Homo-oligomer: A and B are copies of this chain.
Amino acid sequence: MALITTETKGVFVIAATPFEDDGALDRESIDRMVDFYYDKGADGLTILGMMGEAPKLTQAEAIEVTKRTIQRSGDKPVVVGVSAPGLAAIGELTKAVMDLGAAGVMVAPPSSLRTDDQIITYYRNVVDTVGTEVPVVLQDFPLSTGVQISSKTLGTIFENHASIVMLKHEDWPGLQKIADLRDAEAKGRRRTSILCGNAGVFLPEEMQRGADGAMTGFAYPEMMVDVVRLSNEGQPDVARDVFDAYLPLVRYEQQPGLGLAVRKYVLAKRGAIKSAAQRRPGAALNAAAIADVETLIERQTRKLELLN
């Protein structure tokens, strides 16, 4: 399988982890879901992200999910989240998933980091641990990690480590950060791939600032695919038309914690996975939330029909 590079573009969907209603890993749904994502136009997948249900998997299950996802993905790239409290665990998991054919690994900073130098040193240790031949995605997600990385510090890290090839961008606000990075590249810094997260809630503007695509888990990946394509084709206004049709649901799915239940509900409804169940602990949607989601989907469908 190909590795991700500084030139990687497009949409990497953060894949859900399918479970049976009784909490067992649903292997068949992994295949179905992987197919679903690619059918909708995904360029690659990201698994074991830190906001999903990866922490509920045993190590053996995490490896099994990785193996199955990579196999089903054929020659499409799969990035694997390996964030962990200790470098040893990061190193072990990285070796295991790269041996299985992963396209790269994603690492968020531990929440104890504060000063610029602490952050810079952390990524030096990560690269030393996983080896310079492994492509690394730096996940910049302050709302969740509490760690703020300035454009300048990101630049230092990118200059230090050629193997950190991609930024998973989900600072908030974060548009200026994309502009800062692209400006620095225009002045000579080597290129970095920038895929944007935050449920896609700023994707049209992010593409205008120079992002290469999206890496997030919205249950209608075709939204990201269309917005990225239309933006690249010089049709930002049409991209916004599509985006606006999906935005009410994007916003609803972006709710921390609850959003995962929304996402699985929609994926199950769309046939991508068999059950919306989360492994314990994890809340199901109650009747009021289901009513919200059904209303949002119905309205979204209507708007999309008007667009076509």
Contact = CB atoms under 8 A, between A and B. Distances in A.
A131 interface: no
A149 interface: yes
A256 B173 contact: yes
Given A121-B281, A150-B115, A258-B173, A89 B55 contact: yes
A88 B150 contact: no
Contacts of A189: none
A55 B88 contact: yes
B61 A149 contact: no
B59 A59 contact: yes
Interface stretch (A4-12, A99-107, A219-227, A284-292): A284-292
A248 interface: yes
Interface string A243-283: 11001100110011111000000000000000000001100
A163 interface: no
A238 B92 CA distance: 50
Interface stretch (A39-47, A133-141, A201-209): A201-209
B115 A173 contact: no
A155 interface: no
A175 interface: yes
A56 interface: yes
A280 B125 contact: yes
Contacts of A259: 173
A58 B286 contact: no
Interface in A141-169: 142, 147-150, 152-153
B117 A56 contact: no
Contacts of A121: 281
A131 to B, nearest CB: 14
B59 A255 contact: no
A235 interface: no
A240 B121 CA distance: 36
A217 B292 CA distance: 25
Contact of A247 (B50, B237, B248): B248
18 contacts: A55-B87, A57-B86, A58-B88, A58-B91, A59-B59, A84-B85, A115-B116, A115-B148, A117-B152, A118-B148, A172-B255, A173-B255, A175-B288, A243-B248, A244-B248, A244-B299, A247-B247, A247-B248
Which A-B residue pairs are the 5 nearest by beta carbons?
Answer: A55-B86, A114-B148, A173-B255, A173-B258, A116-B116
